[in-house]
């Protein structure tokens, strides 16, 4: 989601929106929420075969589309509008960005599987904290005979139970390194977590002398993860901005059809003022997400600052718009069956994902030299 989009990018938006209108209706979302897999396998396969969503940022020689982060950000924004329940953020953003950064034959093989829609992958970094911090990584990797083995626990892994491969940050004698662990590996234990937002699955993952494949150079993992983290924050901000926009549109539509005292309640001045304030928040969130996306794409010096600013603002905007939507829908908005609650839960879970706004304020202060 660049500050200025091209005709080709807008065409991608139209295609993605049409796909989501078919595969991410409210009924589809609730079906997936009640299922065990956490996503619709047919929709996931169709996204790969007909649009190439999973491989959008993967080079063509690996079976991908050969596009960049700006196009991926547009997909995330549209996915956020409908709360698309699929491992898109974990696979197309986290895992893909990590594998592209480390390179190598094994990474190339995994990227080809992702592009074809055959592999769901995720990244496991955080442990005691929600945000990524090298000092937070207690999982260790050691060489045993002719292979690496991992020991430790990652308590919050996005789509960990759905992933065929988990890319793990672990400490070695050389520093933080990255490893690939296949699902079903010896000593690997994955426990699906019960969470407020069932449209986004989390899992606790533990390793007990689990065989793993080193990605990149030993000790170079954190240098890779810094850039991946900024991309993850920018992509999440785009998703949050899309969700906030959809909630506002849904709310305004209701305010125009709900009558009280012989007139639409949206015509009352107090309601107009509240909606105007929400519109400012939504547009500001889209601007923050767009700038973060542009900064990440250009690898600007302020990319980390822009990504954290977008995370802070988009988290707060999405949560506030979703909460106000429930209020302005009145009695029906307080029923669990209303879609406003799906957006509210996604807004709250996204606020915590990759670190709370307060943690990113601290990060911003450090990045600009205030602390």
Q: How far is CA 279 from the centre of its chain?
A: 23
The reported pLDDT for the residue numbered 260 is 82
- Residue 217 makes CB contacts below 8 A (sequence gap 6+) with 177
Q: What is the pTM of this model?
A: 0.95
Domain-located, residue 249: yes
Domain that holds residue 204: 122-219
Residue reference for tokens 């990759």: 354
| Same domain as 66, residue 23 | yes
- Give per-residue pLDDT as tens, 66-96: 999 999 999 999 999 999 999 999 999 999 9
pLDDT at 283 over 70: yes
| Same domain as 249, residue 189 | no
- Give per-residue pLDDT as tens, 162-184: 999 999 999 999 999 999 999 99
Task: Give the total number of structural domains in the chain.
Answer: 3
The residue out of 219, 240, 261 marking a domain boundary is 219
The residue out of 98, 119, 140 marking a domain boundary is 119
| Same domain as 247, residue 308 | yes
Q: What confidence tier does 286 reach under pLDDT thresholds 50, 70, 90?
A: very high
| Same domain as 231, residue 360 | yes
The residue out of 159, 191, 219 marking a domain boundary is 219
């Amino acid at each position: 989601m660049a500050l200025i989009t091209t005709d080709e990018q807008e065409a991608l938006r139209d295609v993605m929106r049409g796909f989501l209108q078919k595969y991410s209706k409210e009924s589809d979302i609730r079906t997936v929420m009640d299922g065990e897999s956490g996503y619709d396998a047919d929709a996931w396969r169709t996204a790969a075969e007909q649009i190439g969503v999973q491989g959008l940022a993967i080079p063509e020689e690996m079976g991908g589309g050969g596009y960049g982060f700006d196009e991926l950000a547009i997909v995330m924004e549209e996915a956020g509008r409908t709360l698309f329940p699929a491992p898109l953020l974990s696979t197309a953003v986290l895992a893909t960005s990590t594998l592209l950064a480390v390179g190598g034959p094994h990474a190339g093989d995994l990227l080809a599987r992702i592009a074809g829609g055959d592999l769901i992958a995720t990244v496991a970094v955080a442990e005691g904290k929600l945000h990524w911090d090298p000092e937070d990584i207690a999982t260790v990797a050691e060489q045993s005979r002719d292979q690496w083995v991992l020991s430790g626990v990652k308590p919050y892994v996005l789509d960990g139970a759905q992933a065929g491969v988990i890319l793990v940050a672990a400490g070695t004698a050389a520093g933080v390194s990255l490893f690939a662990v296949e699902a079903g590996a010896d000593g690997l234990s994955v426990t699906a977590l019960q969470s407020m937002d069932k449209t986004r699955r989390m899992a606790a993952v533990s390793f007990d002398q689990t065989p793993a494949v080193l990605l990149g150079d030993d000790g170079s993992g954190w240098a890779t993860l810094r850039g991946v983290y900024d991309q993850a924050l920018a992509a999440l901000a785009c998703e949050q901005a899309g969700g906030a926009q959809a909630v506002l549109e849904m709310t305004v539509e209701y305010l125009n059809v709900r009558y009280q005292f012989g007139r639409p309640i949206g015509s009352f001045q107090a309601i107009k003022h509240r909606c105007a304030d929400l519109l400012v928040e939504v547009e500001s969130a889209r601007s923050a997400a767009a700038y973060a996306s542009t900064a990440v794409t250009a690898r600007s010096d302020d990319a980390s600052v822009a990504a954290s600013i977008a995370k802070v603002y988009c988290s707060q905007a999405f949560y506030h718009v979703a909460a106000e939507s429930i209020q302005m829908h009145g009695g029906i908005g307080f029923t669990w069956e209303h879609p406003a609650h799906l957006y509210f839960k996604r807004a709250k879970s996204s606020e915590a994902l990759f670190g709370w706004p307060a943690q990113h304020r601290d990060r911003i202060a450090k990045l600009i030299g205030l602390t």
